[in-house]
Amino acid sequence: MATVELKGLGKTYTSGGSPEGVRAVRDATFSIRHGEFVVLVGPSGCGKSTLLRMIAGLEPITQGELLIDGAVVNEMPARQRDIAMVFQNYALYPHLTVRQNMAFGLERRRTHGSRLAALLSGEYRGKREDESTAIAQRVAKAAETLGLVAHLDRYPRELSGGQRQRVAVGRSIVRDPKVFLFDEPLSNLDAKLRHEMRSELRQLHRTLGATMIYVTHDQEEAMGLGDRIVVLRDGLIQQIGAPSEIYERPANRFVAGFVGTPSINLIQGRLHRGEGTAGVERFAADPLSIDLPKGRFGAAQPGPIVLGVRPDRLRIGSAAASSTWKSEATVVAVERLGDRSDVALRVGQHSLLARVAPEQAPTEGATVTVGADTSDMLLFAADDAGVRLG
């Protein structure tokens, strides 16, 4: 277990064609506590893998400092950092069995490694054998945890994707490293297996209590796994926070749109102050007009603005009766997903998506009442940064 601290960490590739290079990661600053599970998430090319590889020591750091357990490790080679990494393509050694794959890192850490010395000295041989037993025990324990006992003598090519993934995880846990890194480890698995492995990883984290850093482009995976989530875009950290915080209070429009399935409804409009009834501001996006309680969006200035509301906070039909904001809408399409239904709605030129219980799903083409509480609404600046205003 260890703490990891990033202080203004950055990566510039000089061979990017432009004279000043390409900045893959800029000014990443945050710290990870003992035993925390942190997920780096963002669309492809956002620099999350680069950041992870810098922590691993596989990518030289060009700006800032990286500290593990309080010590700066910028210049320390990967093999000395005592970090384990699970790769996207598993990276199992094809010429070694599962058992040998898992023991590989431990073999390196033997203090009595020499077979020759073991031949020459009885005492040395004894110590070497003790070490071998210890390695075998650790491999056996990890194999048991991961359900790999029956496959220990097989080669990676004889295993299924999920089993290979387990071996890759097993190879990390036998080493008992300071920090675990995961680079999109589940992206090669099918949806069902991915879900299973996700809960297994979560459980593993609880059992080991180890510091884990996990990279994924799948926000659902990030929400499901992380104690904290770091959302990245174009090499810049957009927000760091617990999954619920990221979901409920996204820092900007990008985070709001990236996190949550289906994606948040965003409506371009204008904010008018003092035109509504007493104590309210009015958001207007013809034909929509929403009265917002004054004060809740203190930072918002009159003018162009973007309003966001999550699909699961929209209600339709009778359920919308008690909502603080209501409007008439046309049902464009209904997607029945079993436990829930996604309803595509149209209000004027605005498209909205509502996620409702299956029994509430209206028929396509019908006109229904759609509503939401203003307390569930978010306002974002209309500029490129799109900062949340309240």
Q: How far, in Å, CA of 362 to CA of 329, rounded?
A: 11
| E-assigned strand segments in 14-51 | 22-32, 37-41
Q: How far, in Å, CA of 42 to CA of 20, rounded?
A: 25
88 binds other proteins (CB under 8 A): yes
Of the candidates 16, 31, 93, 199, which one interacts with other proteins according to CB under 8 A?
Answer: 93
Minimum distance from residue 220 beta carbon to other proteins (Å) = 25
Minimum distance from residue 87 beta carbon to other proteins (Å) = 5
| E-assigned strand segments in 134-221 | 179-183, 211-216
Instruction: Looking at residues 51 to 80 of the shown chain, list those that interact with other proteins (rule: CB under 8 A).
Output: 56-58, 77-80
Site string (104-123) toward other proteins, x via CB under 8 A:
xx--xx--------------
Minimum distance from residue 181 beta carbon to other proteins (Å) = 8
Instruction: Looking at residues 233 to 252 of the shown chain, list those that interact with other proteins (rule: CB under 8 A).
Output: none
Minimum distance from residue 58 beta carbon to other proteins (Å) = 5
157 binds other proteins (CB under 8 A): no
164 binds other proteins (CB under 8 A): no
Q: How far is CA 39 from the centre of its chain?
A: 4
**Binding range to other proteins, per CB under 8 A, among 83-91, 147-155, 237-245, 305-313:** 83-91
DSSP 3-state assignment of 255? Answer: helix
- 40 vs 103, beta carbon nearer other proteins: 103
Strands 71-72 and 63-68: antiparallel
Closest residue by Cα to residue 367 from 337, 342, 343: 343
Minimum distance from residue 84 beta carbon to other proteins (Å) = 6
Minimum distance from residue 300 beta carbon to other proteins (Å) = 47
208 binds other proteins (CB under 8 A): no
The answer to whether 304 touches 284, Cβ cutoff 8 Å, is no
Minimum distance from residue 334 beta carbon to other proteins (Å) = 44
DSSP 3-state assignment of 107? Answer: helix
As a whole number of Å, the CA-based R_g of the chain is 26
Strands 22-32 and 280-285: unpaired
84 binds other proteins (CB under 8 A): yes
- 171 vs 313, beta carbon nearer other proteins: 171
Of the candidates 76, 91, 152, 382, which one interacts with other proteins according to CB under 8 A?
Answer: 91
In angstroms, the Cα distances linking 381 to 11, 80, 268, 389, 390 are 29, 46, 10, 7, 10
- 177 vs 371, beta carbon nearer other proteins: 177
**Alpha-carbon dihedral 322, 327, 328, 331, rounded to 10 degrees:** -80
Minimum distance from residue 82 beta carbon to other proteins (Å) = 8
Q: How far, in Å, CA of 297 to CA of 281, rounded?
A: 9
175 binds other proteins (CB under 8 A): yes
Q: How far, in Å, CA of 288 to CA of 139, rounded?
A: 62
- 2 vs 290, beta carbon nearer other proteins: 2
Instruction: Looking at residues 337 to 356 of the shown chain, list those that interact with other proteins (rule: CB under 8 A).
Output: none
The answer to whether 386 touches 254, Cβ cutoff 8 Å, is yes
Write out the residues near other proteins by the rule CB under 8 A: 56-58, 77-80, 83-85, 87-89, 91, 93-95, 104-105, 108-109, 171, 175
